Chain A
Amino acid sequence: MDDHLEQLYQDIILDHSKRPRHERELNPCTGRAEGYNPICGDKVTVFVREEDGKIAEATFVGEGCAISRASASIMTTLLAGLTPEQAHAKAHEIYDMLTKAEEPVVDLVEAGEIAALAGVRKFPARIKCATLAWHALEDALHGPDQVA
């Protein structure tokens, strides 16, 4: 398999897309938002439960490609314990990693599994797949029933 494609669909992404973590509805929740990509019809709904100003739990349900499912799955593993501000900052780190002109320096230890998404940079048509869940998360942090 070609290097770029290899990087795109490396084991972490394939693993998360085939066996997504936290793929379920969350009830009760403090925030819920749907992300929708009209180009491909992909949909993801992100649920968050905040306690004492911090995210206690985040889950998602939806239909999408390997990239969007893996991104949503990895995202839900990173949020517990973050304040909404920290979660927004995390989302913007991801957008920067995917879209900034200069190649990002990704510290694999520091960044963890989310670094697997850096390969999406090489596939501009797929960046929206990777950011869909993160945009929905940002809306969900504003309360229930948001639509991205």
Chain B
Amino acid sequence: MRGQTAPKDVSSSSNPSLLLSLNPATLRRDFPILERLVHGKPLVYLDNGATSQKPRAVINAISGFFENGCANIHRGVHLLSGEATQAYDRARATICQAMGAARPDELVFVRGTTEAINLVSRSWGDLHVRAGDEILLTEMEHHANIVPWQFLARRAGATIRVLPITPEGALDLDKLPSLLTDKTRLFAFTHVSNVLGTVNPATELCRIARERGITTLVDGAQAVPHGPVNVGEIGCDFYVFSGHKMFGPDGIGVLYGRGKLLSSLPPWQGGGDMVERVSFEESTFRPPPDRYEAGTPNISGAIGLGSAFDYHALLNWPELREHEHALAAAAHEALLSIPGVKIQGTVPGKAPVVSFTMDGIHPHDIGTILDSEGVAIRAGNHCAQPLMARLGIQSSARASFACYNTLEEVETLAKAVRKAHRYFG
């Protein structure tokens, strides 16, 4: 009975062959796209900070859902709907366990990091932030962790304050105490910088904020791709991330909200599935997470994200983290040996994100030359214009690595950058 086996097929990536995927060399085989040629050359994909590639297990989980298990959730008495609901709930449970949340209902499925922050700025922000209050951000935030707070500040009459960075690209923690005042309602900061690669001391920052009764939101978009994150250990109030940067599909992400806090907030979008009773006069709302998931959610996306977490769980992260650090170190060394190259972000222990500029060569031109060698990087302001302004540059080239990248690819990168130097130098 094929139909009865569907839930296993669509939601689980327990493919025995994946158990071999424990080291960087064999890991690549799980990502079909890494076989691709670009301009006749092997793809060297170093734009993982923008989005990661997807392992076969995730691709299969999503296509499996559509081929064998597609139905809407929570609303059908038929078999397929029941299976889809189970698969959707199981994805949430998987993520809960992987992230050390207390209960699955602390996790809301959203479109991604941006939507999660917008949700918090509406639901939590409109309830708790008043005229004269302050919201503390950091100089290294990307636009998604700036603009929603500006909207909130404008609605509430609140003020945004900014924790600066040091020349190396770390948060200037000496300045933190004076910026956390009795008016501060929220401290929102990135876990890992998408430009500098800096890994911020999230646990310590949340502790300092908590001692002052300040709510915390940690933007984990660039942290979750590099190994397990435990929200319980971090002690944040909100943690947000996107699926597509951590081997999952796009259009799905997660808002973690500490249980009591999340259940105390009003809904932000109205519609089906988030309500208990509806009349034309009024409606009552279900508890989280349903309260924040109005309408048909991204079911295939949630199942795909669950399978990305299953895949992550098979990986040997201590070894892969070491490998990622080696990639970053090798990239720093190779790039700095090329005349005119400057690297932004040199904090020890950084994530494998290497942003650089070259004297006399615009990042766009670097990107085009690298592309001709099959090397995919990002060139631009990385959705972090205030940080670019702080660094005194308009844009940069960024090579961002995932655990499936290799030291040979770092060499190809350096060779291509040398070509750009020869061409324009």
Interface residues, chain A, CB within 8 Å of chain B? Answer: 1-2, 4-5, 8-9, 14, 39-43, 63-67, 123, 125-126, 129
Contacts and interface: CB of A to CB of B under 8 A. Distances in A.
A45 to B, nearest CB: 14
Contact of A41 (B39, B369, B385): B385
B220 to A, nearest CB: 25
Nearest to B373: A2
Contact of A40 (B39, B361, B363): B363
Contacts of A4: 372
B254 to A, nearest CB: 27
A40 B381 contact: yes
Given A1-B423, A40-B363, A63 B394 contact: yes
Given A5-B372, A14-B424, A41 B365 contact: no
Contacts of B385: 41
A10 to B, nearest CB: 11
- What are the 3 tightest A-B residue pairs by CB atom distance, in nearest-first order? A65-B362, A65-B364, A41-B394
Given A1-B423, A2-B39, A14-B424, A40 B372 contact: no
A128 to B, nearest CB: 10
Nearest to A42: B394
Contacts of B39: 2
B381 A41 contact: yes
A8 B394 contact: no
A63 B357 CA distance: 14
B388 interface: yes
Contacts, number: 48
Contacts of B85: none
Contacts of A126: 364, 368
B114 interface: no
B216 interface: no
Contacts of A41: 380-381, 385, 388, 394-395
B379 interface: yes
A5 B364 contact: no
B423 A2 contact: no
Nearest to A14: B424
B418 to A, nearest CB: 13
Given A5-B369, A123-B368, A66 B362 contact: yes
30 contacts: A5-B368, A5-B369, A5-B372, A8-B368, A9-B365, A14-B424, A39-B380, A39-B381, A40-B363, A40-B364, A40-B379, A40-B380, A40-B381, A41-B381, A41-B385, A41-B388, A41-B395, A42-B364, A42-B394, A42-B395, A43-B394, A63-B394, A64-B364, A65-B362, A65-B364, A66-B361, A67-B365, A123-B368, A125-B368, A126-B364
A73 B364 CA distance: 18
A40 B424 CA distance: 19
A66 B365 contact: yes
